[in-house]
């Protein structure tokens, strides 16, 4: 199999075009003269984003580009905290073929957005018989609509055999507006996908490190992101019976709402595992608000995590993604809620990821939600670590 080459570069320059150009030039130097087949860009929302992309593309030319704004990102063991710089990854292609597609209108038609970007990305890849396998890398507006509906549109178009991995864009924790990138476009309220055609199967790995601390109960009334009742009782009361509401466990989000960093809800899957759903209670005792909708009659448990339990899953995620042993890059999508629980230990998670990746370079960002779909229609996660290796 032809070897893929990767190059990374970062910049914290204040000038948007200059930062994009500097990061792209640093990444180009690592390709040893090969042209990039795919450009991935991760950036703080503090930049003039069209100017930033213009700076990147002044170096990378017309190579297909995808990316997102973040709540912090990392390259190798180098962590860029929220609100600072830009990171660029260039991939030469090797035996892979890449195609990028995007669509807008997540709030009004999320499933159609997922279907449209998938069709466009698959067509752009133009895979041949020597690439019988595929995966889709999905990046979405983190505040723009129903993430699960977007993923459902992807699944119905790509088919059950194509795994999906990725994350929802961040905005340096401002909770105001996030964007994704497609070539020179900055898209708000939309999503972008990268079709990865491959000669061998691609593995999506995910784990979270959260542990149930309550008996299973059923969501008996919910409305979008609002969870009114669990087991026929006020959801906030059920949650509060298990979550430690002491001042030391509380963080305030950028929008002023209270976020219980170490407690969440776990949706029970058929195999007994949990999809983690971050929630925060109303100050007046009203409904819980979830980062991802919980349908009525979902079976849930209150779950908790510690810094150590989150760090303990890092090696497992990396080893399950790096299945062939010759991968050059580990693409990682890490929830901002994990940074909250890890507190000052979050740089250690980034360092552990790179150590576990060995000869591969890690490249990823802190998200407002993660995608890891390998079976069924589900695959939207909170407070979870997901990855794929190329």
> Is residue 215 one of the residues assigned to a domain?
yes
Of the candidates 262, 282, 304, which is a domain's last residue? 304
**Lowest mean pLDDT, pick from 126-130, 233-237, 295-299:** 126-130
pLDDT, residue 246, reads 53
Task: Give the largest CA-CA distance in the chain.
Answer: 64
Could you tell me if 216 and 252 lie in one domain? yes
Could you tell me if 271 and 330 lie in one domain? no
Could you tell me if 295 and 322 lie in one domain? no
Could you tell me if 190 and 330 lie in one domain? yes
Could you tell me if 264 and 358 lie in one domain? no
Neighbours of 58 (CB within 10 A): 13
Of the candidates 304, 331, 356, which is a domain's last residue? 304
Cα 267 from Cα 261, distance rounded (Å): 17
Q: Tens digits of per-residue pLDDT, 251-265?
A: 555 455 555 678 899
- Give the confidence band of 292 by pLDDT, cuts at 50, 70, 90: confident
pLDDT, residue 376, reads 62
Cross-strand bridge partners of residue 346: none
Mean pLDDT of 183-210: 97
- Give the confidence band of 247 by pLDDT, cuts at 50, 70, 90: very low
Expressed in percent and rounded to 5, the helix, strand and coil fractions of the chain are 25, 35, 40
Q: Tens digits of per-residue pLDDT, 308-325?
A: 999 999 999 999 999 998
Could you tell me if 201 and 220 lie in one domain? no
The candidate with the shortest Cα–Cα distance to 215, out of 302, 305, 304, is 302
Of the candidates 304, 328, 350, which is a domain's last residue? 304
> Is residue 373 one of the residues assigned to a domain?
yes
- Give the confidence band of 344 by pLDDT, cuts at 50, 70, 90: confident
Could you tell me if 194 and 175 lie in one domain? yes
Mention every residue, 6+ apart, whose C-beta is less than 8 A from residue 138. 114, 117, 150, 151, 154, 164, 165, 166, 191, 192, 193, 371
pLDDT, residue 248, reads 46
Q: Is the model's pLDDT at 197 over the cut of 50? A: yes
Could you tell me if 92 and 30 lie in one domain? yes
pLDDT, residue 93, reads 86
Neighbours of 62 (CB within 10 A): 9
Could you tell me if 195 and 217 lie in one domain? no
SS3 84: coil
pLDDT, residue 152, reads 94
> Is residue 47 one of the residues assigned to a domain?
yes
Q: Tens digits of per-residue pLDDT, 351-382?
A: 999 999 999 999 999 999 999 987 766 789 99
Number of domains in the chain: 2
Q: Tens digits of per-residue pLDDT, 95-117?
A: 999 999 999 999 999 999 999 99
> Is residue 1 one of the residues assigned to a domain?
no
Could you tell me if 216 and 159 lie in one domain? no
- 164 close to 154: Cβ distance less than 8 angstroms: yes
Q: What is the dihedral sign for C-alpha 332, 337, 339, 341?
A: negative
Q: What's the length of the chain?
A: 390
Torsion of CA 98, 99, 100, 103, to 10 degrees: -150
- 69 close to 178: Cβ distance less than 8 angstroms: yes
pLDDT, residue 129, reads 73
CA 115 to chain CA centroid, Å, is: 19
Q: Tens digits of per-residue pLDDT, 32-66?
A: 888 999 999 999 999 999 999 999 999 999 999 99
Could you tell me if 141 and 30 lie in one domain? yes
Could you tell me if 125 and 13 lie in one domain? yes
* Domain membership of residue 276 as a residue range: 211-304
């Amino acid at each position: 199999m032809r070897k893929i080459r990767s190059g990374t570069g970062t910049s914290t320059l204040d000038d948007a075009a200059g930062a994009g150009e500097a990061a792209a030039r640093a990444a180009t130097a690592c390709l040893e003269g090969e042209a990039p087949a795919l450009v991935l860009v991760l950036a703080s929302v503090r930049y003039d984003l069209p100017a930033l992309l213009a700076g990147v593309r002044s170096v990378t030319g017309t190579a297909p580009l995808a990316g997102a704004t973040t709540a912090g990102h990392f390259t190798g063991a180098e962590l860029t905290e929220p609100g600072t710089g830009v990171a660029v990854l260039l991939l030469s292609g090797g035996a892979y073929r890449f195609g990028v597609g995007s669509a807008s209108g997540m709030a009004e038609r999320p499933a159609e957005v997922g279907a449209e970007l998938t069709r466009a990305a698959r067509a752009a890849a133009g895979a041949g018989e020597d690439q019988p396998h595929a995966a889709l890398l999905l990046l979405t507006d983190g505040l723009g609509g129903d993430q699960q509906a977007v993923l459902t549109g992807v699944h119905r178009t790509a088919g059950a055999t194509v795994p999906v991995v990725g994350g929802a864009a961040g905005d340096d924790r401002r909770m105001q507006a996030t964007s994704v990138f497609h070539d020179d476009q900055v898209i708000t309220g939309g999503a972008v996908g990268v079709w990865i055609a491959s000669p061998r199967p691609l593995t999506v790995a995910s784990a979270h490190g959260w542990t149930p601390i309550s008996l299973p109960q059923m969501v008996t009334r919910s409305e979008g992101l609002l969870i009114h009742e669990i087991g026929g009782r006020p959801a906030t009361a059920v949650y509060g019976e298990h979550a430690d509401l002491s001042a030391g466990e509380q963080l305030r989000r950028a929008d002023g709402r209270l976020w219980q960093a170490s407690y969440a809800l776990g949706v029970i899957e058929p195999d007994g595992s949990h999809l983690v759903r971050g929630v925060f209670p109303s100050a007046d005792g009203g409904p819980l608000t979830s980062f991802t909708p919980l349908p009525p009659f979902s079976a849930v448990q209150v779950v908790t995590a510690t810094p150590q339990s989150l760090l303990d899953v890092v090696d497992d995620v990396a080893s399950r993604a790096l299945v062939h042993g010759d991968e050059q890059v580990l693409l990682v999508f890490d929830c901002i809620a994990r940074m909250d629980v890890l507190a000052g230990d979050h740089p250690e998670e980034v360092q552990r990821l790179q150590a576990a990746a060995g000869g591969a370079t890690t490249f990823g960002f802190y998200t407002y939600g993660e995608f890891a779909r390998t079976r069924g229609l589900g695959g939207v996660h909170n407070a979870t670590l997901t990855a794929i290796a190329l």
